[in-house]
Amino acid sequence: MKTKQRWQDWVNLIAGIWLFITPWLFGYSHMGFSWDAFVMGAVVIVSSVWALSDQRRWEEWVDLIIGVWIFFSPWILGFSTISAALWNMLAVGAVVFVLSVWGLNIAPVRDNAHTPSHAT
């Protein structure tokens, strides 16, 4: 049985694409920390595509961790003084985190979609 695609997964996909391209858009692609946006953007893209094809509860937990990392990485990696990068990471991290928490609230229904509806 195919699971229903959710708008949250599409928003995460767009957020991942946005995160991946913003170092070029905002002019910090040549800076050493830009790898964080490239890698995390790619991870969010892959995670979103995966969630669109096969939704599981553990994927929401992975997205939650990714969102936390994206949000706090400017301070962890030391680029919090670069305003464009900081605000971009905060916004995308918050979106990914909030949508994963939202998904955790509805994920039990999705997990049961793969179990038979009758007992044998």
Encode pLDDT of 49-87 as tens digits: 888 887 677 788 888 999 999 999 999 999 999 999 999
Encode pLDDT of 15-51 as tens digits: 999 999 999 999 988 998 999 999 999 999 998 888 8
How far lies 76's CA from each of 11, 95, 112, 117, in Å?
26, 19, 38, 47
Encode pLDDT of 86-102 as tens digits: 999 999 999 999 998 88
Whole-model pTM over 0.95: no
Average pLDDT, the chain: 83
Q: How many CB atoms lie within 10 A of CB 1?
A: 8
Q: Is the pLDDT higher at 74 or at 113?
A: 74
